[in-house]
Amino acid sequence: MTHDGIDHHRGHGDRAGARPHPETRAVHPSLTHPTGSRPLGMPIYQAHTFAFDGAEEMAAAFEGPHSAFLYGRWSNPTVRALEDAVNDLEGGAGALASASGMGTINAVLMALLRSGDHVIAQSCLYGGTYAVLNDLAGRWGVEVTHVSGDDPAEVRAALRPRTRLLILETIANPTTQVADLPALAAAAREAGVTTMVDNTFAPVLCRPLDHGADIVVHSATKYIGGHADIVGGVAVFADEVLHHRVWKQATELGATPDPFAAWLTLRGFATLPLRIARASETALDLARRLAAHPAVTHVAHPGLPGHPQHELARRLMPGGGGGVLSFELQGGREAGRTFTDAVQVARLAASLGDVSTLVMHPASTSHRQLDAAALTAAGIGEGTVRVAVGLEHPDDLWADFEQALAKAS
Ligand SMILES: *Cc1c(COP(=O)(O)O)cnc(C)c1O
């Protein structure tokens, strides 16, 4: 470092005795790394390979998720900044970012499961997770037992000698069921089984590691990114051995995040606590107003006193029950479709955790292949509408919902 506090790395062009050819000079430019500068945010390190002074130092960089930067599929400074931020939020021993939530979930499943192993999973699971478990069952003989998510006795009854993993979701979609994380994770722990909790619906509100989980996964596409512009995932681990194991698998799997996507995610992360608090508050407000509307027969939000896990939700998420709610329309399938076609402030779109409010009618879109019986089993009615609340003023959203409800009545 020189007197100006800046690292100057001179290219070979200046070091070599004879002046090298243009080709050589072009690939070895004189670089100035402004380590003396102090940017408030993390810059984008759009770089995939990092140089070393010696083989020993380079060899050490192959060793683990906290090593020196080596190659982009192992890690990257911008990506690591995102991992550190989410790790800090969840109170973990280390985090791993991926190119998508499914990239994260696949890295965990592939790291922890061998053929013939057994998994216990909550029945009401994200569709992608459900599909991967089905694939693992069909192709690698991984067996899956589904449990309700309410009762640790079901977990104990499902345990087998080769049970490796319990999979839960803090808040399930679109039922807003809240899993009894402390009781279920304790049942798994007694048997030496690892618990993975998908906390996509409740970042900040709930810290599953504090309730006995071993791994927390997020689709950062949703609340953490928060602006409908990136796809990403993050896993946080309670201990370093698990972190190392899944990181190693992830380097082989290759669902590595791009530094630019990681940078956008970090930018969203800065306002995550404010956004999720506001979305939770507005969701509960809308849930109460919907519950009093004559066209609505049922409303699900963990903050409503009539919610089956209301007391549990208050314990696990004292800061609010999340930004997702669902409600059932008297008029069934036709009414559900009419409502989601009629909204003007809210948008008809998949996903959740965005700055704008998104609605969808599962029976005619995401769950259209399910017949009435299968819908009921998934906790979805013909007239169920899922609302993922954004940051609009609640009165504007309610005015929009009122006019859409009038059309759907
Ligand atoms: C969206 C979602 C995922 C998958 O995340 P992607 O980023 O779309 O791969 C996993 N779990 C839950 C609960 C989700 O909502």
Instruction: Tell me whether residue 126 is one of the annotated catalytic residues.
Output: yes
365-379 b/e (C-beta count within 10 Å ≥ 16 → b): ebbeeeeeeebeebb
Residues 247, 282, single domain; the answer is no
CATH number of the CATH domain containing 250: 3.40.640.10
pLDDT of residue 34: 77
Is any ligand 1 atom within 6 A of the Cβ of residue 200? yes
In a domain, 52, yes or no: no
Instruction: Tell me whether residue 84 is one of the annotated catalytic residues.
Output: no
pLDDT of residue 8: 47
pLDDT of residue 9: 53
Q: Determine the atom of ligand 1 nearest the C-alpha atom of 232.
A: 7
**Residue keyed to tokens 């304790």:** 186
Q: How many domains does the chain have?
A: 3
Q: What angle do CA 174, 272, 251 make, to 5 degrees?
A: 85
Q: How far is the CA of 5 from the centre of ligand 1 (A)?
A: 44
Residues 181, 255, single domain; the answer is yes
In a domain, 62, yes or no: yes
Count the helix, strand and coil residues of the chain and give each as a percent rounded to the nearest 5: 40, 15, 45
Q: How far is the CA of 247 from the centre of ligand 1 (A)?
A: 19
Q: Is 163 left (phi over 0), alpha (psi -120 to 50) or beta?
A: beta
CATH number of the CATH domain containing 295: 3.90.1150.10
Q: Determine the atom of ligand 1 nearest the C-alpha atom of 103.
A: 9
Which of 177, 221, 386 gets mutated to test ligand 1 (max ligand atoms within 8 A of its CB)? 221
Instruction: Tell me whether residue 248 is one of the annotated catalytic residues.
Output: no
In this structure, what token pair is assigned to residue 366?
A: 């995401």
In a domain, 133, yes or no: yes
In a domain, 203, yes or no: yes
pLDDT of residue 330: 97
Which of 200, 227, 256, 264 gets mutated to test ligand 1 (max ligand atoms within 8 A of its CB)? 200
Q: Which residues are within 8 A (CB) of 17 and not within 5 positions of it... i.e. 6 or more apart?
A: none
Q: Which of 25, 71, 73, 333 is catalytic?
A: 73
Residues 209, 190, single domain; the answer is yes
In a domain, 225, yes or no: yes
Residues 90, 210, single domain; the answer is yes
Instruction: Write out pLDDT tens, residues 179-237.
Output: 999 999 999 999 999 999 999 999 999 999 999 999 999 999 999 999 999 999 999 99
In this structure, what token pair is assigned to residue 233?
A: 């995932």
Is any ligand 1 atom within 6 A of the Cβ of residue 221? yes
Q: What angle do CA 37, 40, 46 make, to 5 degrees?
A: 75
45-60 b/e (C-beta count within 10 Å ≥ 16 → b): beeeebeeeeeeeeee
Residues 214, 254, single domain; the answer is yes
Is any ligand 1 atom within 6 A of the Cβ of residue 222? yes
> In the 8-state DSSP scheme, what is residue 140?
H
Report the SS3 class of residue 318.
coil
Residues 17, 68, single domain; the answer is no
Residues 111, 225, single domain; the answer is yes
The CA-atom distances, in angstroms, between 20 and each of 28, 32, 49, 51 are 10, 20, 23, 20
In a domain, 131, yes or no: yes
Which of 250, 269, 288 is a domain's end point? 269
Residue nearest to atom 2 of ligand 1 (CA): 219
Is any ligand 1 atom within 6 A of the Cβ of residue 168? no
Q: What residues of the chain score a pLDDT lower than 70? A: 1-16
In this structure, what token pair is assigned to residue 330?
A: 């008297």
Residues 153, 139, single domain; the answer is yes
Q: Which of 198, 214, 258, 354 is catalytic?
A: 198
- Amino acid identity at 82: L
Residues 99, 163, single domain; the answer is yes
> Kind and range of the H or E element at 256?
none
In a domain, 264, yes or no: yes
Instruction: Tell me whether residue 386 is one of the annotated catalytic residues.
Output: no
Q: How many CB atoms are located within 10 Å of the residue 17 CB?
A: 5
In a domain, 50, yes or no: no
Residues 338, 350, single domain; the answer is yes
Is any ligand 1 atom within 6 A of the Cβ of residue 117? no
pLDDT of residue 13: 43
Residues 26, 125, single domain; the answer is no
Range of the domain at 25: 1-38
pLDDT of residue 207: 98
Instruction: Name the residue among 76, 8, 92 with its Cα closest to residue 42.
Output: 76
Residues 140, 230, single domain; the answer is yes
